Structure 1
Amino acid sequence: MAFLLSLFRYLFFCLLFCLSLCKEDPESFSADFHRYPFIRDASDFPDGGHSYDYIVVGGGTAGCPLAATLSRNFNVLLLERGGVPFSNVNVSFLRNFHLTLADLSKESASQFFSSTDGVLNSRARILGGGSSINAGFYTRANPEFIRKVGWDEKLVNESYPWVENQIVRRPSFAPWQRAFRDSLLDVGVSPYNGFTYDHIYGTKFSGTIFDRFGRRHTAAELLASANPRKLTVLVYATVEKVLFDTSGKQPKASGVVFKDKRGYRHQALLSNDIRSEVVLSSGAIGSPQMLLLSGVGPKADLEKLNIPVVFDNVNVGKGMSDNPMNAIFVPTNRSIKQTLIQSVGITKLGVYLESSCGFGQSKDSIRCHHGIVSAEIGQLSTIPPKQRTQEAVQAYVKNKRNLPFEVFRGGFILEKIASPLSTGDLKLINTDAEDNPSVTFNYFSHPHDLDRCVAGIRLAMQVVQSKYFTEFTQVDRQTTEKLLNTSVQANVNLIPKHMNDTASLEQFCRDTVITIWHYHGGCHVGKVVDRENRVIGVGRLRVVDGSTFSESPGTNPQATVMMMGRYMGVKILRERLGRAAGV
């Protein structure tokens, strides 16, 4: 009887565990709440009577480590427009990576937007920011990038491990990734640098924020390092604008106005200490958008929308850039395990090669997909991006069911251009902070970017044709020809059709350009913020995120953006407290 009772209890708790994995409740703090007692819903915010030393706008990859660090010594309010990631299974598990990016609802952890270039994209809308919706790859910036932005290298090298020791793992190296690594070396992307976080020419594999169970660990978990008595985190808090005191010679930030999910507005104010600050960490889209909404930006543009001008700066929203990515499909005749990015080839051509695989293994599944939704849409026939209407996308989704199963069994070689020279801008469409602004990246407007894309595609095809990949995928010439014929008949760009024709490859680059979500700019150092990230022309306001970058750091930016949050937090504390800073 005791045995049966124990067995029943065991099965009961197994059932509860399984149910908890299947549950998706973005408003629940799950069992992690005890680690984050300072997280509350914005609708519970008590108006009046309390001020803060720092108000951080945006609980993303930079905002979370920044707020956690500042709270060691000061009262900090962190405002995040989305919910928490801890109990959201679409965010938490590697196997569901694609679902959040494909979710267009207002409750999604990602907010869909399309640039004026016609390329589909996403911006994070959840605590943890991009680290809650990305592919998880963790690798540091090129040391030259650190020197170029003028950061203290000693503090940088202390800040990276602070992040890594909390949420970064060494991945279990998958067979597909091994074949990709061997193929990179076979075509000359050498030397082999093994496992390392460092950015080094050649081939390597690096860290991940997914653990061995496929569970994601986001920047939100860095909040566990905060002083719980000095940090308040409000979720579902959409900041509408920064408030300014304009009574002195220079306008200075005094607080923010934010809206909760019920539509009620609240004010959060800075303390009277002149060193208290509002810090924008809303990302490369959100931070320039917030400056414009608050009256900092080009005077003519602000006046068109009846936004009171606080400071006229024509550079806000300028210099927007996105690293263009193009993909080559690799079919396989063998069963493969799903993997996201683990290996990378860092070339001297100015391109990076990465790979993912293992999505859409079910022939009959109506949701059969490649997992990287932008990569799949990038293969949309020969329709240039600007002509990718909603009807065109819907037609593709419908017609892809008629494609052979081989099209959905395999993976992609992803080719990303480093430091693109093509740039665009960001402008407000209206004054609603919840709406996307108009964003233009001008992909391949600079001829050097197009030249590098062609070189990268040629190299990617060499990787695909390497003996290591062909032996691993077990794909014969007949299957390859079938796919090529499918590409022509179904008018999809699974692989380039004329490898020796430069003009054809240039067209392939233009037709299949997609994003790898590494966009940046809009608040450049020296134009919008100074070397200490203070906003030029106004007081008590900084920007700490990728909007200040003129290039995306390393092959993937999340490591450097999280490090930046910690780095700037320590710098601010040391500036204010000297050796007394408790970090």
Structure 2
Amino acid sequence: MLNSILLHWRALCILYGSLLASIAFAVGHHFHYQSLAGQPVSTANDLAIGTWAGVSSQKFNTAVGNTFASLFRTFLSITVTTAYCQIVWHALKSEATRLNIVDAISGILANPLGFLNLGAWRKSALLFPLAIMIWILPVAPIITPATLTVAINPRTLHDMVNVSSIDFNSMNFATITLGGPTVFGCAYHYDGPKFEVQKIATAATAQGAVLPLSAPGNQPNVSYTQQFAGPALQCTDVRDPLRGEILVNVNTGALNTSTSYGYLAWAPFKSSLPFMQDPAGIGDEFWHLQQGSATIGPTSDGPLTLFVATFPNFNNIHYGNLSQTYTANATVVQCELVNATYSSSYNWTNGIPELNVTVIPTDKGIFYPPDIDCGRLFFTGNHRDTNALQPLSDYNNTLVQNYAYASVMDAFVKLLEGEIYYPRSPNGLVTTTSVMSTTLGTTQELLAVQNRTVSGTQGLGTLTPNDWPGISVNMQANNTSTLRPTLEMMFQNLTMHLMSSPLLQPDAATPYYPPSVNVTTVTFHTQYAYSAATLWLAYGTAILIATTTVVIACLAIFSSGLSYSSSFSTVLRTSSHASVSTKISREDAVGQDPLPKHLAEATITFAYADANEEEAVQEHLVAKGDHVLQSNGSYSVAVIEAGSLYELDNGNYSQIPYYDFESASGSPDLSTVNGLIDWKFLTTPQTALLNRTIHYARGKCLGGSSARNYMVYNRGTVGTFAKWASLVGDSSWNWDGVYPYYRKSPHFTPSNSHLRAANASVGLVDDTAAFASNGGPLQVSYPNFAQAWSSFFPQGFEEVGIPFLEQGISSGHLDGYASVTLTIDPTEQTRSSSETSFLREALAGTDIVVYTHALAKRILFDQDKRATNVLVDVAGMKFQINVTREIILSAGVFQSPQLLMVSGIGPRATLEEHGIPVVADRPGVGQNMWDNPLTSLSWEVNVETPSVLTNDPSRIYEENEAYITNRTGMLTSDAGADFVGFLKVSNLSVVNISSTTGNAFQSNFPSDWPEVELLTFAVGPNDGVHNFASIALGLLATFSRGNVTIKSSDMADAPIINPALLEDKRDQDLAIAAFKFTRRLAATQSFQRVIIGSEVVPGPNVNTDAEILAYLRQSVIPLFHASCTCKMGMRNDGMAVVDSEAKVIGVEGLRVVDISAFPLLPPGQPQATVYMLAEKIVDMILRDA
């Protein structure tokens, strides 16, 4: 009964409850804003919650308004979506509906493009107007918070304030010296401006500096006017006859000195001209005003005066022959110092100052201050015979002002006096003035001089050391300023700048302190303003729309007899348990549906779900096959990869061969390991290696560990595969059976003799016979560089009895030394991996889907133990990929057994320990791990090694350029693994390996299986100074076996990895013997030519077997060749995990195709055998299809 009531009233309760809640939040929003209206706005930053009287901060009140609006929108959205849902399902129940119309109607609230579906409009014309209104709803919470605004009210205050001014009655302007005895007893003499005045003059005239004044009270909006008396310049153009006299003297000077003038300025004593004496017999020095000389002097017939003359038509010929042309365009300006009234208007707006100055000069000129007796400088005669200046209160202010005015003029003239002239020989320019560092240098009359010095025919290179400091002044184009007004403005600017100095401002203690001025200050006060009509217009419209949908929804509920939700279970109920696949095939009959092919062909069946049951459904993603089938166009393939493209995630470090050792040294410090392309696995503490924990590099990217390995490509031996075939009970795994698959994957390119150095070709074998002429996409070749260290190996190997492998290292014979082939693109000199070769080829031509950043969590089986699905985790979301044929597991030596175990395939005890249901009890899962221990010995050498790339930045640049430009140089080589030598136990007899150990290896491994390999490594300890190189030795036959198991039932937890390196005593004996043989190789004549001094690592003190073993325990790392953890074997072998066709024993539809499926680890580097394995299993899959 209760369920029946809920079916009718559940939606109604939601409808009315959410509608009332939204109305309540709208009312709350209104009253909150109304309480703030007219209140002052606080600028507090603490967001403290106050009362509703508006004492909270502006930011807090805005946040409250946004919260009300968001809550209103949330609850109103619940109302309208619930109402719309009821109306939609009522419409759908009325009659059968096409699937695309159902999509359009049900998705209109999320996808406005549904409005374009005309069929949906015909289906229910009512729904679409309602949907349009619902789309208007989000406008309400956008509009309503803006209804609370901040109004700004200005307030104006007037106050009498003392402002900055200039005290021309101060003795801080002029330097006054006390003269000798006179008729008055002593005399004061003017001796120039003080440093403060000269400093301000320099700053004020240089490029028109702005007066540095602060507003009274540091208020941002202040204005006032000010008047004071001060000096000013009145400038006029000099007329004849004085102009003519000046020009005659200038021309005469040019005749006698072989110079031509561009600029001349002077302040004469009395009315003298610049050339005051007859030039006859006078040296050239006389005719040039000397910088630093006295500038102004006493005159008796006029005020202090400055003359400025410019001569734009100069050239390098002296002007005796061109006097008319020379003088015609000359400009001569005369500026007299006069008394003036300064009327200044100051205005600060938002802290930005504006100053307007009006200068009203008088006719009263200012004369040079004469020497005066001590008494006349004061009001009283009490100090007549003193030789010290007295307090300011006694000064004769009129005389002191005269000194001050004269000092300002003097400081101004010192910047402009002097000349710019052009000697005839040598050609160039001489200047004794600082004028070009002032704004006067930018006037029209001086543009010619400026251009001459900056870009004239003589150029800057010929200027004399006396060149003026303003040479870098930037000229403005089309300058229209002229000398006369510029001089007056410059002096006016200088006078105004005097008030910026505290030394020159009035002292409140003197009788000359200026009166206060009327200062106007404007302050702005803010308060809240609220528009209730706008808020209720927005909220009211939204509530009206919602109420309309509620009414229609109620009618739909009572007409249907039920209420509905938008959950997926509702879709199931209303579908009447129909198969969606039928609707899809009918809808997509002509292939117009935009779904991708692998989804469009999906078969999805909806199970029955009663209205009273839990609403649950499992989403399925459909995929078929696996990527190794890419060569057959009849299969669709899905590739699941936990990482992504190593080219993007690791860049050059995974592509350029030189960096293939990067973060693959075994160090347990993972801080430098890129977790985007490496799993960051750590081993358990290794008991035989001093309990060291080792980082085991594994690829976490497309291409797997083919993107992380050392790139060496070689194949196993003939005897190796005879043993393989015997172990798995299948003769197709012998050498003749696998050799065609070895040839199928790679494309071999011979070495480029034009790019490799001559010594780099020693021992190279371009064994094209071992490779097919029309091979696969994997590139195999040689780098375009070989280390100088490597060139000593061939002769050294010969000296110790190791022969040259004339057939190379891919012919099935490893009984000598040879050059190393790499999986390298011969053109680009970059790594060739399974991603760059097979996957790219597959993506270009077949039906393949790649899922990156997808972690396979578990393989699922049906009741017949057939693998049907893979559970995948993508960013925390889990999906199932449905497989119609079979799953191929290629997760690597550690994670393939891990995934088997978490899926229920493995040792029963392990599975039960972690609560995993047992699908197949296979005790061999994770066991039988093979690996190759590796160590090295190092020496200082007399040839260049890669250490230079860390010691010498210039070499780094050279190698980078060589690689980028020509694909040559050291970066194309994988740190010098240029040669490899393979040793048998019989070779080690010279170092007295025990017969017991020797017999053990000879009886357990084929006769052509080498037990040791020696590799050239042009790396070693790096002290930043010397070159070091190494010989690496690896054990290719071992008796130690490791294992891998699980930490939990979750693939996200790293597996427990135990390589068990050197745990078997026979492996230790073999390693000691190989160590001794390596020293024997280094002692050959060939190597002694390059080795400097004694061994560096481990050093000459390591000699006994015990000392050597101790070094091995602390230095050995894996060659990262872990394998055989899902070993291939016969089905009656209890430890076998897969059969000879790589099928997992005990289940159906599942294979393991990676290095973990090896029954043994072939000698050398295993990547070639991994590719061979994949090629061979592909043929088996295609054969079974």
Coarse TM-score class (shorter-chain normalised): 0.7 to 0.9
Aligned partners of 2:906, 2:1021: CA distance in 1, in Å? 45
Q: Is the 8 A contact 1:100 1:108 kept in 2?
A: no
Q: Is the 8 A contact 2:856 2:873 kept in 1?
A: yes
Between stretches 46-55 and 352-361, larger displacement belongs to 46-55
- Cα-Cα RMSD: 2.6
CA 1:434–1:181 in 2, change beyond 3 Å: closer, same or farther? farther
- Residue 362 of structure 1 deviates from its aligned partner by 8.2
Aligned partners of 2:940, 2:641: CA distance in 1, in Å? 41
Q: Is the 8 A contact 2:718 2:734 kept in 1?
A: no
2:904 alignment partner in structure 1: 295
Aligned partners of 2:912, 2:1077: CA distance in 1, in Å? 49
Matched residue SS, 2:646 = coil
- Residue 421 of structure 1 deviates from its aligned partner by 0.8
Matches within 5 A, 1:24-103: 51-55=622-626, 66-69=628-631, 71-87=632-648, 88-101=651-664, 103=672
Aligned partners of 1:159, 1:544: CA distance in 2, in Å? 14
1:351 alignment partner in structure 2: 1012
Could you tell me which of 1122, 1127, 1148 is aligned with 1:524? 1127
- Residue 255 of structure 1 deviates from its aligned partner by 1.5
Q: Is the 8 A contact 2:715 2:809 kept in 1?
A: no
Matches within 5 A, 1:30-429: 51-55=622-626, 66-69=628-631, 71-87=632-648, 88-101=651-664, 103-109=672-678, 111-117=680-686, 118-150=693-725, 151=733, 153-154=735-736, 156-165=738-747, 166=777, 167-172=779-784, 174=786, 175-193=788-806, 195-198=808-811, 199-212=813-826, 213-220=828-835, 221-226=837-842, 228-245=845-862, 247-248=863-864, 251-260=865-874, 262-271=875-884, 276-336=885-945, 338=970, 339-340=973-974, 341-349=977-985, 350-358=1011-1019, 363=1024, 405-406=1025-1026, 409-429=1027-1047
Aligned partners of 2:629, 2:933: CA distance in 1, in Å? 32
1:433 alignment partner in structure 2: 1051
Aligned partners of 1:143, 1:85: CA distance in 2, in Å? 35
Q: Is the 8 A contact 2:619 2:879 kept in 1?
A: no
Aligned partners of 2:1053, 2:1088: CA distance in 1, in Å? 46
- Residue 351 of structure 1 deviates from its aligned partner by 0.8
1:488 alignment partner in structure 2: none
Superposed CA deviations along residues 500-537 of structure 1, whole A, max 9, x for unmatched, are: x2222222222221111011121112311112111111
1:503 alignment partner in structure 2: 1106
Aligned partners of 1:512, 1:106: CA distance in 2, in Å? 25
CA 1:181–1:436 in 2, change beyond 3 Å: closer, same or farther? farther
2:76 alignment partner in structure 1: none
Matched residue SS, 2:1033 = strand
Aligned partners of 1:231, 1:209: CA distance in 2, in Å? 25
Aligned partners of 1:516, 1:73: CA distance in 2, in Å? 39
Long gaps (5+) in structure 2:
1-595, 599-603, 605-617, 665-669, 687-692, 726-732, 748-776, 947-969, 986-1010, 1130-1135
Superposed CA deviations along residues 245-278 of structure 1, whole A, max 9, x for unmatched, are: 1x23xx1111201112x2211111111xxxx111
- Residue 123 of structure 1 deviates from its aligned partner by 1.3
Q: Is the 8 A contact 2:646 2:677 kept in 1?
A: no
Matched residue SS, 1:218 = coil
Q: Is the 8 A contact 1:67 1:223 kept in 2?
A: no
Q: Is the 8 A contact 1:185 1:192 kept in 2?
A: no
Look up the equivalent residue of 2:830 and give its one-letter code.
R
Matched residue SS, 1:170 = coil
Q: Is the 8 A contact 2:983 2:1012 kept in 1?
A: yes
Superposed CA deviations along residues 158-195 of structure 1, whole A, max 9, x for unmatched, are: 22223211311134461322222332222112244364
1:369 alignment partner in structure 2: none
Aligned partners of 1:470, 1:181: CA distance in 2, in Å? 14
Look up the equivalent residue of 1:451 and give its one-letter code.
D
Q: Is the 8 A contact 1:91 1:109 kept in 2?
A: no
Q: Is the 8 A contact 2:621 2:880 kept in 1?
A: no
TM-score (structure 1 length as normaliser): 0.73
Could you tell me which of 1085, 1088, 1092 is aligned with 1:476? 1092
Matched residue SS, 2:870 = strand
Could you tell me which of 1117, 1122, 1143 is aligned with 1:514? 1117
Q: Is the 8 A contact 2:928 2:1125 kept in 1?
A: yes
Aligned partners of 1:465, 1:307: CA distance in 2, in Å? 58
CA 1:214–1:361 in 2, change beyond 3 Å: closer, same or farther? farther
Structure 2 residue 1098 is matched with structure 1 residue 494: yes
Long gaps (5+) in structure 1:
1-37, 41-45, 57-65, 364-404, 484-492, 577-583
Q: Is the 8 A contact 2:642 2:853 kept in 1?
A: yes
Aligned partners of 1:413, 1:315: CA distance in 2, in Å? 36
- Residue 426 of structure 1 deviates from its aligned partner by 1.2
Aligned partners of 2:818, 2:1018: CA distance in 1, in Å? 18
Look up the equivalent residue of 1:533 and give its one-letter code.
A
Q: Is the 8 A contact 1:345 1:353 kept in 2?
A: yes
Between stretches 213-222 and 100-109, larger displacement belongs to 100-109
Matched residue SS, 1:123 = coil
**How many residue pairs align between the two structures?**
457
Q: Is the 8 A contact 2:683 2:1058 kept in 1?
A: no
Superposed CA deviations along residues 531-577 of structure 1, whole A, max 9, x for unmatched, are: 2111111111111111122432231001111121122112211232x
Structure 2 residue 1161 is matched with structure 1 residue 552: yes
Matched residue SS, 1:190 = coil
- Residue 415 of structure 1 deviates from its aligned partner by 1.0
CA 1:548–1:83 in 2, change beyond 3 Å: closer, same or farther? same
CA 1:535–1:415 in 2, change beyond 3 Å: closer, same or farther? same
CA 1:204–1:330 in 2, change beyond 3 Å: closer, same or farther? same
- Residue 361 of structure 1 deviates from its aligned partner by 6.9
Aligned partners of 1:550, 1:414: CA distance in 2, in Å? 26
Aligned partners of 2:647, 2:1110: CA distance in 1, in Å? 43
Matched residue SS, 2:934 = strand
Q: Percent of pairs identical after alignment?
A: 25
Aligned partners of 2:630, 2:1080: CA distance in 1, in Å? 46
Aligned partners of 1:573, 1:146: CA distance in 2, in Å? 23
Aligned partners of 2:925, 2:1083: CA distance in 1, in Å? 45
Which structure has the bigger radius of gyration? 2
Q: Is the 8 A contact 1:194 1:205 kept in 2?
A: no
- Residue 287 of structure 1 deviates from its aligned partner by 0.7
1:387 alignment partner in structure 2: none
The answer to which structure, 1 or 2, has the higher relative contact order (CA under 8 A, 6+ apart) is: 1
